[in-house]
Chain A
Amino acid sequence: DAKTTQPPSMDCAEGRAANLPCNHSTISGNEYVYWYRQIHSQGPQYIIHGLKNNETNEMASLIITEDRKSSTLILPHATLRDTAVYYCIVGTTSGTYKYIFGTGTRLKVLA
């Protein structure tokens, strides 16, 4: 599976958009980009995933570059509850049992 690179930490003001980048330059054509977050030491929570088109749901938006080598997770109006570690993972939909986690980005939302 492809590996990803994320900045170790980011800060964001409450109410502002949080933009979390991820590089996945070796992604294969059938691999999706998944985003999860882990609040405190709870189990990771699914946020969103996509293949090549931009995706949006009630939690976030996912922007994938045309060459698919990088992506950005956007939390449109960050709240204190969004403080967490965010993981970007690439993999196939038939391989959701074998994620390769990096160390993620620790997002701190500031009041």
Chain B
Amino acid sequence: NAGVTQTPKFQVLKTGQSMTLQCAQDMNHEYMSWYRQDPGMGLRLIHYSVGAGITDQGEVPNGYNVSRSTTEDFPLRLLSAAPSQTSVYFCASSSRGQKTEAFFGQGTRLTVV
């Protein structure tokens, strides 16, 4: 049981390049989310999904796209990378119910030069 797996762990992009951050979970969770964390700040919600085929925007969605074709995977696409997107990105998953909590991946550290 691997939990939430994010790849890659580190990435350097040039301004204008595109890329996809991968996130996979093996807990059959309905909910998945992407957050970004800038230095000295808390996490901010980018996009989320409450089930396969259902996605919605969070607090800071501009410049990012998501899709959820399977329960397990929730990739985050940067369309045209900008230096302002330099950040650490965390993926999380959780399930419906009363006694639940979110499980977070170990993060992807992205630098845009």
Contact = CB atoms under 8 A, between A and B. Distances in A.
B102 A99 contact: yes
B61 interface: no
Q: Which of B32, B92, B102 has the most CB of A within 10 A?
A: B102
Interface size class of B (residues with CB under 8 A): 20 to 34
13 contacts: A43-B90, A43-B104, A43-B105, A43-B107, A44-B102, A93-B96, A93-B100, A96-B94, A96-B102, A97-B32, A99-B43, A99-B45, A103-B41
A45 interface: yes
B48 A96 contact: no
Interface of B: 4, 31-33, 35, 37, 40-45, 48-50, 58-59, 88, 90, 92, 94, 96-107, 109
A49 B4 contact: no
A102 B44 CA distance: 9
Nearest to B93: A97
A41 B36 CA distance: 12
